[in-house]
Amino acid sequence: MNAPQLTSCLAKTYGEKQAGRHVLNHCQIVGEVAKELIARMPEWLRKDLFPKGSELIAACHDIGKISPTFQEKIYRGIEGYKWNSLPGLENIIDPSMENHPTTGWSGHAGVSQAAAKKLKAGKYIPEILGQHHGNSPRLSYNAEAEVFGGQLWQQRREELVTQLKALLKCDFPLIKSPEQARVLAGLTSVADWIGSSSLFDNPVDAWQPLIKQALDNAGFIRPKIKTDLTFFDIFNFQPHESQEKLFTNATQAGVYILEAPMGLGKTEAALYAAYKAMSDGQATGIYFALPTQLTSDKIHERVNQFLDKIIATDSLHQKALLVHGNAWLKQTELGVEGNPNGSWFAASKRGVLAPFAVGTIDQALMAVMNVKHGFVRTFGLAGKVVILDEVHSYDAYTGTILDELVKQLRELHCTVIILSATLTQERREKLLTQAVSKQGYPLISVKSHQAELQELTVTPLPTNKVEVYCCQSDDQAIDEALKRAEQGQQVLWIENTVAEAQQRFRLLNNYASNMGVECGLLHSRFLKTDRENNENYWVTLYGKDNASARQAKGRILIGTQVLEQSLDIDADFLVSRFAPTDMLLQRLGRLWRHEKSFRPTQAKREAWLLVPDLDAAIENIKLFGNSAKVYNPYVLCRSLAVWHKLMEVVLPDQIRTLIETTYSEQNETGMLQAYKAELEKKRRELKQLAQFGLSTAGITLPETASTRYCEQDSVQVLLLSNYQHNADKKGTEITLLNNEKILLPRGIKFKDKSQWRELAATLLKNSLQVADHFAPKAVSIKELAWLREYFYLGDPSQGESLLRIAIVNDCDEVKNLMGGVASDNYQLSYDKIIGYQAAK
């Protein structure tokens, strides 16, 4: 087979059906982008993880585009190209024909891998090139296979590599570990994304002056940190002993665990330790990982205030540096994959790459999983301070992945700060990978790089007593909550499922509306825009420094587990559906959180727990209701055995005892023995599942692969009031649930990229995540083609979920696009007060 010259081999098209840059040009740009990315890293990180030649790996990512099938595909998209007219492409088969030989190599990425393997580029490099689109190719051909063009096309690929070596003045580096290979795979993908940004579209434009601008546009700017700031300078109060012991000992990369009670300022301690690491040149940024999206949204405000204090006023990061909401999405351009129709447009993913971000722990956990673009997350976390907040009793599945994450972060020169109020000794030992001896509380565990473990105790803290009442009557609890709210108290009611929280809200709100008592509802199934409004309103009301609002009226805030984590809310009285001990302690931490908060004279520090009878529940686990589907039955029973006779809890003195008593090894009999055996079997299964997710062998899992064990995948749902395609087919007018009308033009990515990103960000704010079985039925990608420019629709061939879209009518019913039934199994509805509902 003939082969065209390198200068005739195109990497991409430009604009609408024009020839873009050729492969050599594009590969050189990506190599220079990688080189500049590395240059912006501190010397200690470059030296260990990014040796000279790393840029060559990135540059060689697209050598597989020198292949007949890819070149025919590219030329076919150019205006005026005549089929089979280019030398070397005379006999290419139309891909629309049956039995076309396009399987067995995963596109041009597979060709890149095969070509590098033939070149003997090194142990890890072929796989890095093959993975640059996120997946490991399923390769069944060698580099000189006829389907790849035979020997002559492979010679062209080798010529390309030779020219790239000369242009970049380097050879392939030696990669010393799988962890380093993952980081370099992430560098390769990110450099490709940036090198494919719109700045480099026009092949006529000189690209050399644009490299630095492209990195700036993508947000890769090293922040300037103010030096010599004290803890008081940043937070306006003096640190207490446990805070000070953390940040004075967390002076280099390592693992640091702060166990301290709720409300003690663990967040400020971790942030100041991060500041010290960055100002001393020991870290490149911060990734603050929280258990849920709702908690990570709210803590943005606190971290933004922190950044305002520590970032120099002449730094380009001084404004809007923390990845959050529309601002970041509109201001930054990460190339094709980060475009609105790319899989990395969402801020939740891109935060891993930014200098500062607050996000969910899931994005960090995927850095060690064999998921699509998992290694991009590995690259993003390298060298940072990674704060893992609210770490307690993750199940065996997530716990196994978390242990591996902490282990690998140590290899990536990260400073890992783990915060918990309720950590068991067993979990602490697994996170530190060694035995521990001290049981003090609060406690700081210090394991810096290649140093001995230190376990630092602090002076015992002042105690507070919380009265506890185990209530077996929901009606009695409802009456008590209403009575307390009528007295002017701020009541918190926490359920274990969204559906039960919604039901409880309806009932309480019905009574409260006639009593001058205000009711609110917080959970995860709101549109992002409604969730932000609800959260801001209620967290402000229940926050500190809000005496006038607290005195104005009593309130009842109903919610789910999102209320127990990371939110700075202060309640006068708590009602909670029964849950495992560590969750209950977190919920108790919302009671009387601030000393100076206004409280009615009748208020007392008290929590009512909605429980079944212990003996009856052991015999019939269904008495726990839906909580037994959320939490393990054995853990619920063990927790209830600890709590059912308690009249009060002394905090923080009893936290350690309550946790260890609940989770310590017990010899059980009867039903408890059966529940325990079931739990141990489940743990073994979950560990095996987690190990499968961590394995680098086999098929790459989609990014929808769960970091937490769940029977159902979560899918994205876009909710609209209406939509109508324009008669000229040049756009679609949509109506949002707030009645705002928006025009989505076709082809806007060629006309106004800023508006394109802004429209896509607006659509994201009008979507939510729900379990697959609660979601509207999926429709084909063809039916969603009008949204292709604005959403990543998923790749079903890779196991990725399609976007779901539905219409909410005037009766709040969720319908399909034609106005019909959206789900065969559930009646779906949505309103901004109660959220998304799925009723049988």
Res. 368 pLDDT band, cuts 50 70 90 = confident
Q: Which residues, in sequence order, are bridge partners of residue 745?
A: 731
Q: How far apart are CA 761 and CA 685, in angstroms?
A: 39
pLDDT (mean) for 335-360: 80
pLDDT value at residue 104:
58
User: Quick check: is 570 in a domain?
Assistant: yes
pLDDT value at residue 486:
96
Q: How far apart are CA 634 and CA 306, in angstroms?
A: 42
For the segment 629-639, what is each residue's pLDDT rounded down to a tens digit? 989 999 999 99
Domain final position from 602, 621, 651:
651
Nearest to 467 by CA among 597, 592, 601, 614: 592
Tokens 């030296």 belong to residue: 47
State the DSSP string of 398-420: HHHHHHHHHHHHHHTT-EEEEEE
Q: Are residues 155 and 281 in the same domain?
A: no
Q: For residue 645, what is the DSSP state?
A: T
Q: Are residues 586 and 491 in the same domain?
A: yes
Q: How far apart are CA 433 and CA 697, in angstroms?
A: 25
pLDDT (mean) for 73-102: 65
What amino acid is encoded at 182 in this protein? R
pLDDT value at residue 93:
58
Highest mean pLDDT among 389-403, 434-448, 739-753 belongs to 434-448
**Burial of 246: CB neighbours in 10 Å, binned 0-12, 13-18, 19+:** buried
Domain final position from 217, 242, 271:
217
pLDDT value at residue 327:
58
| Residues contacting residue 762 through CB under 8 Å, at least 6 positions apart | 326, 736, 742
Q: Residue 570: give the domain boundaries.
A: 464-651
C-alpha 78: how far from its chain's center?
A: 38
Q: Are residues 53 and 130 in the same domain?
A: yes
Highest mean pLDDT among 83-92, 307-316, 763-772 belongs to 763-772
What amino acid is encoded at 272 in this protein? Y
User: Quick check: is 136 in a domain?
Assistant: yes
Q: Which residues, in sequence order, are bridge partners of residue 238?
A: none
CA 217 vs CA 220, 322, 335, 754, 800: distances in Å: 8, 15, 10, 12, 29
Res. 170 pLDDT band, cuts 50 70 90 = very high
pLDDT (mean) for 369-379: 89
pLDDT value at residue 697:
54
Phi, psi (degrees; rounded to nearest 5) at 331: -90, -20
Nearest to 417 by CA among 257, 597, 622: 257
Could you give the percent of the chain with pLDDT greater than 90? Answer: 57
User: Quick check: is 670 in a domain?
Assistant: no
pLDDT (mean) for 441-451: 91
Of 83 and 687, which is predicted with more confidence? 687
| Residues contacting residue 532 through CB under 8 Å, at least 6 positions apart | 297, 765
Residue-wise burial string across 52-90, b where 16 or more C-beta atoms lie within 10 A, e elsewhere: ebbbbbbbbbbbbbbbbbbbbbbbeeeeebeeeebebbe
Residue 769: pLDDT over 70: yes
User: Quick check: is 178 in a domain?
Assistant: yes
Of 555 and 71, which is predicted with more confidence? 555
Phi-psi map region of 137: left, alpha, beta (phi>0 left; psi -120 to 50 alpha): beta
pLDDT value at residue 354:
86
Q: Are residues 136 and 263 in the same domain?
A: no
pLDDT value at residue 180:
94
Q: Are residues 571 and 500 in the same domain?
A: yes
Q: Do the beta carbons of residue 741 and residue 734 sit within 8 Å?
A: yes
| Residues contacting residue 693 through CB under 8 Å, at least 6 positions apart | 369, 370, 371, 401, 701, 705
Of 708 and 692, which is predicted with more confidence? 692
Res. 704 pLDDT band, cuts 50 70 90 = low
What amino acid is encoded at 596 in this protein? K
Q: Which residues, in sequence order, are bridge partners of residue 821?
A: 815
Tokens 């990512």 belong to residue: 61
Of 27 and 773, which is predicted with more confidence? 27
Of 693 and 451, which is predicted with more confidence? 451
Q: For the chain, what is the mean pLDDT? A: 88
Phi, psi (degrees; rounded to nearest 5) at 16: -105, 100
Tell me: cis bond preceding 442? Omega within 30 of 0 counts: yes
CA dihedral 623, 624, 625, 630 (to 10 degrees): -150
**Burial of 336: CB neighbours in 10 Å, binned 0-12, 13-18, 19+:** middle
Domain final position from 651, 669, 698:
651
Res. 366 pLDDT band, cuts 50 70 90 = confident
pTM, 2 dp: 0.90
pLDDT (mean) for 817-822: 91
Q: Are residues 470 and 441 in the same domain?
A: no
Q: Which residues, in sequence order, are bridge partners of residue 555?
A: 490, 518
Residue 85: pLDDT over 90: no
Q: How far apart are CA 503 and CA 496, in angstroms?
A: 12
State the DSSP string of 523-589: -S-S-HHHHHHHHHHHHHHTSSS-HHHHHH--EEEEE-GGGGSS----BSEEEEE---HHHHHHHHT
Q: Do the beta carbons of residue 52 and residue 294 sit within 8 Å?
A: no
Instruction: Give me the helix-helix angle, 655-663 and 633-643, nearest 10°.
Output: 140
Question: What are the counts of helices (DSSP H) followed by strands (DSSP E) for the chain?
Answer: 30, 25
Q: Which residues, in sequence order, are bridge partners of residue 648?
A: 467
pLDDT (mean) for 496-504: 95
What three-state secondary structure class fits 605? Answer: coil
User: Quick check: is 657 in a domain?
Assistant: no
pLDDT (mean) for 396-410: 86
Q: Are residues 452 and 593 in the same domain?
A: no
Total structural domains in the chain?
4
User: Quick check: is 678 in a domain?
Assistant: no
Q: Do the beta carbons of residue 800 and residue 781 sit within 8 Å?
A: no
Q: Are residues 92 and 212 in the same domain?
A: yes
Residue 802: pLDDT over 80: no
What three-state secondary structure class fits 114? Answer: helix
pLDDT value at residue 315:
73
For the segment 176-185, what is each residue's pLDDT rounded down to a tens digit? 999 999 999 9
Residue 566: pLDDT over 60: yes
For the segment 263-276, what is each residue's pLDDT rounded down to a tens digit? 888 999 999 999 99
Q: Are residues 202 and 242 in the same domain?
A: no
Residue 73's CATH number: 1.10.3210.30
Question: Radius of gyration over alpha carbons of the chain, in Å?
Answer: 28
Residue 110: pLDDT over 70: yes
pLDDT value at residue 708:
45
pLDDT value at residue 574:
98
Of 700 and 483, which is predicted with more confidence? 483
Q: Are residues 262 and 136 in the same domain?
A: no
Phi-psi map region of 670: left, alpha, beta (phi>0 left; psi -120 to 50 alpha): left
Q: Are residues 385 and 267 in the same domain?
A: yes
For the segment 287-345, what is each residue's pLDDT rounded down to a tens digit? 998 877 655 566 777 888 899 899 988 776 544 455 555 555 566 777 777 787 877 77
Tell me: cis bond preceding 652? Omega within 30 of 0 counts: yes
Both structure tokens of 371: 């998921």
User: Quick check: is 688 in a domain?
Assistant: no
Beta strands in 338-377 (DSSP E): 356-360
Residue 256's CATH number: 3.40.50.300
pLDDT (mean) for 531-538: 88
What three-state secondary structure class fits 431? Answer: helix
pLDDT (mean) for 817-823: 92
pLDDT (mean) for 204-215: 94
User: Quick check: is 413 in a domain?
Assistant: yes
Q: Are residues 512 and 635 in the same domain?
A: yes
pLDDT value at residue 710:
42
pLDDT value at residue 698:
53
